[in-house]
Amino acid sequence: MFAIVRTGGKQYRVAAGDKIAVEKIDGEAGDTVSLGDILLAGDGGEVKSADGLVVSAEIIAQTRGEKVIVFKKRRRHNYRRRNGHRQSLTLLRILAVGDAKKAAPKKEAAPKAEAAPAAEAKAAAPAKEAAPKKAAAPKTEAAAEAPAKKPAAKKAAPKKEA
């Protein structure tokens, strides 16, 4: 089964297992998103109703596209401008095209929350084992009272007259 979905102002023909690059969608690699704006659906050569269909996709990566050079010039006016642009993209793997009740459930932030305490525990363990840091050397009274020295300004070289 295939579907034509609209995301980021563009339309894409997708089927289960396809990989597409779309305009940036919020999320991290591994998150599941659903594309709900379905324009057309079909199976083989016949067109089906797109009502109630949802396309579920997994974010593979957040990346950027090829660099595009924008060059502006006005003849005989010494006007030239060169700019570059790289569009932010999201790579998606289409998991399923089907009914909203049959689509894969979205991954919530709960798995990330469970992984975070484990990561914190690993980070905390080496910190406890680290050697204690040396205390800062006490400042002498003379150093504390003396103002900070300013760097000397460079003197301009005298101009030669011809």
pLDDT tens-digit map of 131-152:
556 666 666 655 555 556 666 6
Question: What is the span of the domain harbouring residue 38?
Answer: 2-108
| Residue 161 covered by a domain | no
Q: What's CA 150's distance to the chain center, in Å?
A: 43
Of the pLDDT bands very low, low, confident and very high (cuts 50, 70, 90), residue 49 is confident
| Residue 59 covered by a domain | yes
| Residue 144 covered by a domain | no
Which residues, 6+ apart, have CB-to-CB distance to 26 below 8 Å?
none
CA distance 39 to 43: 14
How many domains does one find in the chain? 1
| Residue 81 covered by a domain | yes
| Residue 125 covered by a domain | no
- The phi and psi torsions of 57 (rounded to 5 degrees) equal -140, 155
| Residue 14 covered by a domain | yes
| Residue 20 covered by a domain | yes
pLDDT score recorded for residue 43: 87
| Residue 94 covered by a domain | yes
pLDDT score recorded for residue 65: 96
pLDDT score recorded for residue 92: 97
Phi-psi domain of 51 (left: phi exceeds 0; alpha: psi -120 through 50; beta: other): beta
Q: Where are the beta strands (DSSP E) in the chain?
A: 2-7, 10-15, 19-23, 32-35, 38-43, 46-48, 53-74, 79-99
Q: What is the mean pLDDT of the chain?
A: 79
